[in-house]
A and B are shown apart, each in its own frame.
Chain A
Amino acid sequence: EAGVTQSPTHLIKTRGQQATLRCSPISGHTSVYWYQQALGLGLQFLLWYDEGEERNRGNFPPRFSGRQFPNYSSELNVNALELEDSALYLCASSLLDQNTEAFFGQGTRLTVV
């Protein structure tokens, strides 16, 4: 069974540009989570989607946005990139059940220059 897949693996953008990151969850999982992990720091909760709807949002500015498609895959968009947006962006998926595990993709390393 395929795990969570993220693309691209690496992304280099210039300050002010937009970045789009993609995530495909494990088959059957409807919940998708996005996290930002800056170098040497912990996982900061960005967004949680389930059944196509945004269920919760972390303390990030509106230029961080996303969506979930009918097949439960998800996109994270970051507009007006800033140097401090450089980080590892991680996607995880889970069933919509609090007593089930969440599994991560390999992440997208975004570098803003």
Chain B
Amino acid sequence: DIQMTQSPSSLSASVGDRVTITCRASQGISNSLAWYQQKPGKAPELLLYAASRLQSGVPSRFSGSGSGTDYTLTISSLQPEDFATYYCQQYYNTPLTFGQGTKLEIK
């Protein structure tokens, strides 16, 4: 199985901050990576796929980059509604696997 490791596990930031979350795969995944946002009691929502492609309807302050084994999710200017938990997911191989999550909290 491909292991996905996110860092940090938690992060405190303020509205307006720029934040970056990192996801590292245990082997190369050729940009077969998605990012999700999950709020308490809700299902995850797809933000980006193919490492850098923005899902329809997702604000442009979200962006993704990376290659090989290392990928990042960047939020350019945090908004109040962005405080949530973020997960990466690889779909290069089955079983599909997720990172452990990064909880983004208000400072």
Are A and B part of the same complex? Answer: no
Which A residues are closer than 8 A to B by beta carbons? none
